[in-house]
Every structure is written in structure tokens, then in C-alpha cells.
Structure 1
């Protein structure tokens, strides 16, 4: 398996014949010219995870790719003329690799802010992308996309999350809201479980797993 990070929460997962892109949003760069995608996954409707204007040409360039997201986001996309398949927690799809959906709800930002649907995706039996949630899937997670900074989390919660999941590798994601995420990365490296290796990917950088 190979992971490439395109800033913030956008990650390309290559697993055998599968090329799965997750959360091509407004804070992410470098994904627009990708080809050969087998699936595009959107965890939820917020613009930093879903840039509709850039999604359309991406799908046109990858006409064999299927688009999967939560039911609420699928409805929003349908209104924009973009067809997507809605998945719910427990659903499984095969797109050259196995993709399972988990969770169901975005983390609480504030009691006065409505909670939107959010699905985390487990891909190829190894990599889990939680979207904007602290979902702990009921399976082993080898590689975790670890949310780093957001209005809905603080650093101690991210540390508690990586401890609860205890992956072999934690790849920080969702960092674009931070002016200097290095402080958080250092905290993760110091406080993560002994069996977890924190691996920071620069924009466009890949890791073989």
C-alpha cells in the first residue's frame, strides 16, 4: 500500500490496482491532475473536505471512478448535478480494494452548530480515515489518518484518539487550520503508544507501507 498526502485531509491510497482518493477539499492542493482513480471518497460535506467545483473536472478526468459519501452529502451533490453513491456505517464496497464505512456523525464543534453526517473509511484492510470524527472502528487499524487541528478538537483529544486506536503508523491529517502544526506533531511523537510510529507527510509526499 502507498499513501500520498495532498495537504489537509486529502489522501491518495494505492493498493494493488486500486487508486482511491479521499476528501479532495478546498484546503488541499495537487490532486486536480490525478488520473486512473478507481474511487473518490468524501467523508462529509464541509468545504475543506469537498470542493464541488474542483470535484467535477476530477471526475470527468477519471470517468471510471465511483464517488462514495454519506447520504447527506450525496443529496447536496445531487442538487449540484454530481451523482454519488450514499454509504452508511457497516457498508462495504469493492473498487479494486475493500472499502468499509464507519462512524456516522461529525464531531461536535459547539452545541449551537448542527452536527452533520460523517463516514470514516477503512481501505484495503489497513488504512483508516476518520474524517472529522474520533470514530474507533471495530477492527484493527494498521495505519491511521490522525486529525491534528480543528475547531472540534484539541491536542489532548488527538493524543487520546491515537492511544485508543493504537495503529502501527499514524499519519497526521487535518492540519491546514494551524499556523505551525509542528508543535502538535512533536506532541504526538512523544505521547503516542510505543508501538505507534508517527509519520508526517509533506504536501505531495508518499509513503510505502
Structure 2
């Protein structure tokens, strides 16, 4: 299985000739939308959900009710899922976790629904949250910037998940200096590396 990072929070996972997209948003490159067998969307914010380009894909979309309300014209192609559910998407085994986006400011409350996705018990994408999966994972995608982001919470989350490797996502707001700083804080021991990946970079998931 191969994971390819694209700009910000979007990743592509390839396995056995099938392609799974997670959070193809408005920052995502056009190439992201050229091939897909299924799409997972964690929440409704545009940096994770490009409504118009997703509508152009003739594939199933798995997401929460908030996102589904924006994709209503796709009909049965949109499947609403909730935290705690397990399902199949184009041959990938998916588990959904959580229900809330991280709080940006206390007075604003929870901005919207958010679900994290665990793919084949191997790759975990939390969306805009630090919701933890309930099992060991191989590759943990760690948000490293954003209006809701806090470094201590990110480090605590990465330590708690304790994946074999971590990869920084949600990083479009960071300069190269900021990216390097996040790597220094989140890099683990030699056998549990942090990958500072650029758009288009791929890593193998064993």
C-alpha cells in the first residue's frame, strides 16, 4: 500500500489497483481528482472539501451528515457514516472515529462535525481533531497547523497513538521554518520516524 501526500490535508492511498482519496479540498492539486475509486471526507470546511470537484467524480463518497448536506445532488453516491462504524470503501476496510471538529475559540463552540478515518487498520487521518483510534496503527497523520492547532495537544496526540511512523498534514499555513520546527517536536525514536513530506511525496505502508 502506498500513501501520497498532497497539499494541506489531502492524501491518496493506492492498493491493488484501487485509489482512495481522503479530504480532497480546495487547496488540492488537480491531479488529485484524476483517479479515484472512493472518497472519504472528514468535515465540511473547504480546505478538506472541494464540493464542485468532488461532484465531478463518479465515485462513492463517505462522510458525515454535515458534508452530505452539501453533496445532496449526488444522491446515493454519498454515504453518511458516524464514529464507531466500520465499512468497506473500494476494497479498503474503514473505521470511523469521533464526531466533533476541534474547538477554535471557546466562545464559538464546536465548529462542525468531524470524523477520523482508519484505513485497513494501518493509516489514520483525524481530520481537524486529535481524536485517537482505539487500536495500534502503522502510520498516523498528524495535523501540524491551523486556527485550532496547539502544539502540546499535537505532541500528546502523537505520543498517545504511538504509531510506527507519523506524517505531518494540515500544513499549508507553515513556512519551511515552521515545518522544520514541527518535525523537531514530533520526531520520535529512530524506529518511529516523523516524515516531513512535500506535496507529491509518497511513502510505503507495510
Number of the residue aligned with 2:197: 201
Number of the residue aligned with 1:101: 96
Is the contact between residue 146 and residue 158 of structure 1 (CA under 8 Å) also seen in structure 2? yes
TM-score (norm 1): 0.89
Instruction: Please list every run of at least 4 consecutive aligned residues from structure 1 whose deviation after the TM superposition is greater than 6 angstroms.
Output: none
Number of the residue aligned with 1:145: 141
Give the count of matched residue pairs.
Answer: 199
CA distance in 2, matches of 1:139, 1:183: 28
Number of the residue aligned with 1:51: 50
CA distance in 2, matches of 1:202, 1:179: 12
Is the counterpart of residue 29 in structure 1 residue 40 in structure 2? Answer: no
| SS of corresponding position for 2:66 | helix
Unaligned runs of 5+ in 2: none
TM-score (norm 2): 0.90
Is the contact between residue 12 and residue 20 of structure 1 (CA under 8 Å) also seen in structure 2? yes
Is the contact between residue 51 and residue 70 of structure 2 (CA under 8 Å) also seen in structure 1? no
Task: List per-residue Cα deviations over 1:169-205 (Å, max 9, x = no partner).
Answer: 101000012233222122212xx35652111221111
Give the superposed CA RMSD.
1.6
CA distance in 2, matches of 1:89, 1:17: 28
Number of the residue aligned with 2:105: 110
Unaligned runs of 5+ in 1: none
Matches within 5 A, 1:1-209: 1-35=1-35, 37-57=36-56, 59=57, 63=58, 65-78=59-72, 81-83=73-75, 84-94=78-88, 95-115=90-110, 116-180=112-176, 181-189=179-187, 192=188, 195-209=191-205
| SS of corresponding position for 1:112 | helix
Is the contact between residue 167 and residue 195 of structure 1 (CA under 8 Å) also seen in structure 2? no
